[in-house]
Amino acid sequence: MEIKILGTGCPKCKTLEKLVIKVVDENNIDANVSKVDDIMQIMNYGIVSTPALVIDEKVVIKGRIPSEKEIKELLTK
């Protein structure tokens, strides 16, 4: 699984990144987590508000920080 956190480095983006890494580690999910902070790459996903969560090249959350439970549900379905 390929997970990307889209954001330019704001506090919300950093929080989302930490939450995703925590959920991946705690649940032994086989995933590569990366951070995309280049605004041009972010715009390629059609994102206008960050942070955003992309799983296997599909934008699943944008413009908000989801709960740990919601992240776990997205990563384990």
User: Which residues are identified as catalytic?
Assistant: 10, 13
Q: How many CA atoms lie within 13 A of 20 on its CB side?
A: 28
Phi-psi region of 26 (alpha: psi -120 to 50; beta: other; left: phi over 0): alpha
The pair of three-digit structure tokens given for residue 69, joined into one six-digit string: 């439970």
